[in-house]
Amino acid sequence: MKPMVLALVALSTLAACGGKASNYTTRGAFTPTQLYATGPLQRACMSQGRRAANSQRCGCVQAVADQQLSSSDQRRGVKAFKDPHKVQVWRQSDRASDNAFWATWKAFGRTAEAVCS
């Protein structure tokens, strides 16, 4: 039950493309930097019409993806935005590639939530 709850939390966080109004992190001692990038996840985030989606949040999610996900994992992640049930299928799969993607996607979700919220 706990893995299902974690999966839903990670997916909900990514599907909503963020949470709180601030998505600033600090780099260095006192220099605030806003993370932003464009790419496949940023476009998928913006195109789904979710209430919390905005350019800053979706761009932040993409910036984290650029740091943590390969381009193939990003393309696969776009499918998760379009059909959230796919993530559940991948999580429950017996295929090694699905299990590896699930572990990577879950770690990405945690980081994106921490950085972009």
Does residue 57 form part of some domain? yes
Does residue 26 fall inside a structural domain? Answer: no
Total Cβ atoms within 10 A of residue 22: 12
pLDDT of 19 > 50? The answer is no
Q: 64 lies in a domain?
A: yes
User: How far, in Å, CA of 57 to CA of 3, rounded?
Assistant: 26
Percent of the chain scored above 70 by pLDDT? 72
Range of the domain at 91: 34-116
Among 12-16, 21-25, 73-77, 91-95, where is mean pLDDT lowest? 21-25
Q: Could you write out the DSSP letters of every residue in 70-109? A: -HHHHHHHHHHHH-THHHHHHHH---HHHHHHHHHHHHHH
Number of domains in the chain: 1
Give the tens place of pLDDT for each residue, 66-103. 999 999 999 999 998 889 898 899 999 999 999 999 99
Encode pLDDT of 26-36 as tens digits: 454 444 567 89
More confident residue, 3 or 73: 73
